């Protein structure tokens, strides 16, 4: 004896497009939230404020491919980032340190990006 099953699939293309747009928007908003979080945590070395306020920016040029970047573009940013042994002044940023993104990569805030993206995606997708 043979059982037959019949099913019909209707693809909702407008909804798929909405979800795709929501992904890109949530990704861009997530990197903005990360930048704000890092600045508010006062962990970047701060002398004149140029590195944090003028030379740290977000690159969303590849967001449609699923990639965004938080970039600090000063000649000295790499040296300061990879040398936590430096004695950073803490007058402006109380927690200034090298490896300032480490708490969001593998430290106490490592879940921040995933949680922020999930929350923003749900909002953007209307879920």
- Give the CA-trace dihedral at 79, 41, 104, 126, to 10 degrees: -130
**Is residue 17 domain-resident?**
yes
- Per the structure, the complete domain to which residue 79 belongs is given by 13-125
Q: In the predicted model, is pLDDT for residue 2 greater than 80?
A: no
Query: pLDDT for 80-104, tens place per residue?
Result: 999 989 999 999 999 999 999 999 9
Q: Which helix (H) or strand (E) holds 103?
A: helix 102-105
Q: Which SS3 state, helix, strand or coil, does residue 29 take?
A: helix
**Is residue 81 domain-resident?**
yes
Measured distance CA(123)–CA(117) in Å, rounded: 10
pTM reported for the whole predicted model: 0.87
DSSP 8-state assignment for residue 24: H
- Inter-residue contact 44 to 86 (CB < 8 Å): no
**Is residue 121 domain-resident?**
yes
DSSP string, 30-73: HHHHHHHHHHHTT-S--SSSIIIIISEEEE-TTGGGT--EEEE-
Query: pLDDT for 12-32, tens place per residue?
Result: 999 999 999 999 999 999 999
**Count: domains in the chain:** 1
**Is residue 76 domain-resident?**
yes
Residue 110 neighbours by CB distance under 10 Å: 12
**Is residue 84 domain-resident?**
yes
**Is residue 36 domain-resident?**
yes
**What does the pLDDT read at residue 127?**
84
**Is residue 103 domain-resident?**
yes
**What does the pLDDT read at residue 4?**
86
């Amino acid at each position: 004896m043979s059982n037959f099953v019949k099913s019909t699939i209707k693809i909702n293309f407008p909804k798929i497009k909405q979800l795709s747009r929501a992904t890109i928007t949530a990704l861009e908003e997530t990197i903005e939230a990360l930048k704000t979080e890092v600045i508010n945590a006062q962990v970047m070395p701060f002398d004149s404020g140029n590195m944090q306020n003028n030379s740290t920016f977000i690159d969303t040029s590849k967001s449609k491919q699923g990639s965004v970047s938080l970039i600090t573009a000063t000649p000295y940013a790499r040296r300061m980032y990879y040398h936590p042994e430096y004695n950073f002044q803490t007058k402006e940023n109380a927690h200034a340190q090298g490896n300032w993104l480490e708490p969001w990569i593998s430290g106490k805030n490592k879940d921040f990006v995933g949680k922020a993206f999930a929350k923003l995606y749900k909002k953007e997708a209307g879920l």
